[in-house]
Structure 1
Amino acid sequence: MVRVVFLHPDLGIGGAERLVIDAALALRSRGHDVLVITAHHDPSHCFPETIDGTLSVRAAGDWLPSSLLGSCRALCAYVRMLYIALYLLLLESFDVIFCDQISACIPLLKLFSRRRIVFYCHFPDQLLTRRESFLKRVYRAPLDWLEEWSTGLAHVILVNSMFTANVFKDTFKSLSKVTPQVLYPSLNFSAFDTETELLNDDVLPPGRDIYFLSINRYERKKNLALAIEAFSLLKLRLSDEKWRRTHLVMAGGYDSRVPENREHHDELRHLVASLNLEEHVTFLRSVSDARKRALLRGCACLVYTPSGEHFGIVPVEAMYAGRPVVAVASGGPLETVVDASTGFLRKADAAAFADAMLEFVDDETLGSAMGRRGRELVLRRFSFQAFTEQLDNVVTAR
């Protein structure tokens, strides 16, 4: 038995957070003692396993600011991560540290402990922000250097896809001799097979039996407007009868603390209004796992709009639910979606997406056929058992 401590900056709802929860569950299933320490954990905005007693979660350092007058978010995140690392060193015993997203705390951990450190790199942090001014470039320079240097100090570096592994190599030039291991996120099938909830009229108006689904955080980089614009073009391709049956559900991760979530949600609603689609589009915010499963199982297809996505767990969830995926042909979906077999990979263009979506309206059996192949693919490639085996080998290696 190994005592594993996970360090995560903000245990909300998202792909990175889902991976941490699944990793903790995987190691616990192998008999390891697992603890999750995070700087922020809101019981009203988190995965249920973190509040129902399934996992032990400690929050430390939430009193530290997450920004300075709306700026310097990266610096504040680094400081908060250093604080929870210090909390760990002073108050907890451990054998392995699984550090997620932010590597800045690794030098402190390595200096004061002799334990194995595993770092999971979802994507280089320095590529997630723009450098539009000289002041921003000056501010980011030491943080970028710290990210690269501290990442290289980990005993094991994991990434979520071959795409991210290649970006890692191209970005961290001083780590050219380091080869990160690819640990694909997976689905805990038993958790995903639990009951769903009924979709009420507040989600789908009566008679809307063909609906398209978008699931992503309300962030501009997720290109959610593409789903709405494609849906608007789809309207022009449908008969009045088919259009009356058709709907779009925009289900997005939403945190009221994040200004961009609030702003972008409003922007998308205004876009829908400008296209006169209000009666055919439903916006949902931070849906429960049960509702997400229900939405996935009934949709005509998942419309997945980000470009250069690092991995993207939602297409895998959709395929396991037996539904096809229309995704941008870049990044992680190139490793998860098989074009013309489990869905369609298209350029990030509204007309191209609308053409793909039309296929599922014209031939309602196509979605079932692609969905079956998608589920078979997920069972082979992204099983929780394979994920657990690989992760167990990482934390027990000598």
Structure 2
Amino acid sequence: MNTPVIHPEKMVVVHDYFGIRGGGERVALSLASNFDATLMFGYRTSETFDADMFSADIRDLGLPSMFQKPGLRAAALAMRFRSSRREVRQYPTRIFSGVSAPFAAPKAGSGRNIYYCHTPPRFLYDQKDHFARVVRGSPARTYALERFRKAYEAAFGRMDVVVANSQTVRERIQTFLGRDAVVVYPPCDTHAYKWLGQDPFYLSTARLSPLKRVDRIVDAFIRMPDKHLVVASQGDDFEMLKRRAADAPNITFLGWVGEERLRILIGKAIATLYVPVDEDFGISPVESMAAGKPVIGVAEGGLRETIVPGETGLLLNPAFDVNQLVEAVEAMTPGRALTMRSACEARSILFSESRFITGMNAAVGK
């Protein structure tokens, strides 16, 4: 394949992949749109954003589906990005987003490498023990992870500028990689979310995986048959959680829903629930606040930077149990949620797309 001829002012945004509708994916789309950049990524699936949200200038590396599985994906993507390094070098300014995308970074001095770090890979650093228990790694896998860590740190070392998506992630970068970073919070399209009233339900939009702790939310509503929970997401735990709530007619699982329906659900909910383990940033609470809806969250990770306890939501102790979650839901009555509407809407403006682009302009040096 011939290396494309690049305009000398053209920029490229390199993101791992588009497999879900998450905060990292929104960051990459926003950067590509606002900087009129080429968007390069490993692959895209039908579960992610609609095609019309992507610019015409995309570069899909087409990672085969057999390599898109957890456990294989990061290494396979790293190899695919590494092989694209020569192509990426044709762009004078490169922004990398994700865990494997930085492997595409050319050596320092050949342009500008900017890393928007959502977090140092959790399976290598702060959540290493959790992932080791899940996969029950063999000596060969341990060796492979160590090689991946060294290659990741080498790619990290080729970055001219490192941007963290939260103070939480900045501290992880300092702890695990020994380098400082500037904080630029991810963008929320605050104009897209509106308060649409209060229908009688609470909403969870977190991906269904163990570290998101949606199982505790489900267990809490099993104990509250008079309150309705809507779960608008999917993930590895989807079928398990549906079975868990099989006898609870007050819990509805929708799977992934389109952007328009998601915004309507947020706009009509009483409040949202989001209780992950030490979240990097968490765009869902900001989207909730943009719609004037308070958040029942947890006092760790990025949620400490977005939610104001007692004003825009309630924050549980990191060691919370299901009983405490039940108490929080019962305390967040429709009336109390309504009193927080104005504060929520005002708070969300701090994480608007315009502020994000201003911060990234400074980081890029424009």
Q: Which TM-score band applies after superposition, normalised by the shorter structure?
A: 0.7 to 0.9
Residue in 2 that maps onto 1:240: none
Q: Distance in 2 between matches of 1:105 and 1:322?
A: 36
Specify which of 342, 353, 361 is matched with residue 325 of structure 2.
Answer: 353
Shift of the alpha carbon at 1:248?
0.6
Which of 334, 358, 363 matches 1:389?
358
Query: Any unmatched runs of 5+ in structure 1?
Result: 28-32, 199-207, 236-242, 255-260
Q: Give 3-state SS (helix, strand or coil) of 2:315's partner.
A: strand
Q: Aligned equivalents of 2:161 and 2:97: distance in 1? A: 12
Structure 2 match to 1:37: 40
Aligned residue number for residue 3 of structure 2: none
Ranges in structure 2 where 5+ consecutive residues have no aligned partner: 1-7
| 2:350 counterpart of 1:369 | no
Contact residue 325 and residue 343 of structure 1 kept, 8 A: yes
CA distance in 1, matches of 2:68, 2:37: 30
Within-5 A mapping of 1:249-328: 249-252=230-233, 254=234, 261=235, 263-273=236-246, 276-277=247-248, 279-328=249-298
SS in 2 for 1:389: helix
Among 5, 9, 14, the residue aligned to 2:16: 9
Work out whether residues 105 and 155 of structure 2, in 8 Å CA contact, stay in contact via their aligned partners in 1: no
Runs (4+) of structure 1 moved beyond 6 Å? none
Alignment of 1:1-398 (within 5 A): 2-12=9-19, 13-27=21-35, 33-42=36-45, 44-48=46-50, 50-51=51-52, 54=55, 56-63=57-64, 65-66=66-67, 71-89=71-89, 93-102=90-99, 105-106=102-103, 109-110=106-107, 114-125=110-121, 126-127=124-125, 129=128, 130-131=131-132, 132-133=136-137, 135=139, 136-172=141-177, 176=178, 178-192=179-193, 209-235=199-225, 243=226, 246-252=227-233, 254=234, 261=235, 263-273=236-246, 276-277=247-248, 279-347=249-317, 348-361=320-333, 364-379=334-349, 381-397=350-366
Structure 2 partner of 1:204 = none
Secondary structure of 2:116's counterpart equals strand
Displacement of 1:145 after TM fit?
Answer: 1.5
1:94-140 deviations in Å (ceiling 9; x for gaps) = 221011113575575126x7111111111111135523445132221
Distance 1:19 1:264, change over 3 A: same
Percent identity reads: 24
Instruction: Find the residue that maps to 1:145 and give its secondary structure.
Output: helix
Q: Give the whole-Å Cα distance in 2 for the aligned partners of 1:107 and 1:10.
A: 13
- Whole-angstrom distance in 2 between the partners of 1:66 and 1:87: 22
Contact 1:218/1:265 (<8 A) preserved? yes
Structure 1 Cα separation of the partners of residues 259 and 137 of structure 2: 40
Contact 2:296 2:313 in 1 (8 A): yes
Normalising by the residue count of structure 2, what TM-score does the alignment of the two structures yield?
0.87
Counterparts of 1:338 and 1:108 in 2: how far apart (Å)? 38
Contact persistence 1:5–1:97 (CA under 8 A): yes
Indicate conservation of the 8 Å contact 1:297/1:321, yes or no: yes
Q: Which secondary structure does the structure 2 equivalent of 1:157 belong to?
A: strand
- Indicate conservation of the 8 Å contact 2:88/2:105, yes or no: no
TM-score of the superposed pair, with normalisation by structure 1: 0.80
Q: Which amino acid aligns with 1:390?
A: G
Structure 2 residue identity aligned to 1:24: A
Alpha-carbon distance change, 230 to 84 in structure 1, aligned in 2, over 3 angstroms: farther
Contact 2:118 2:164 survives alignment (8 Å): yes
Task: Decide whether the 8 Å contact of 1:233 with 1:350 is kept in 2.
Answer: no
CA contact (8 A) 2:63 2:77 kept: no
Give the SS at the match of 1:340: coil
Distance in 1 between residues matched to 2:105 and 2:97, nearest whole Å: 15
RMSD, matched Cα: 2.6
2-structure distance, mates of 1:7, 1:81: 9
Q: Which amino acid aligns with 2:164?
A: V
Would the alpha carbon gap of residues 24 and 114 (structure 1) be closer, same or farther in structure 2, given more than 3 Å must change? same
Please say which of residues 314-323 and 159-168 is displaced more in the overlay. 159-168
In structure 2, what is the Cα distance between the partners aligned to 1:120 and 1:47? 20
Letter in 1 for 2:238: H
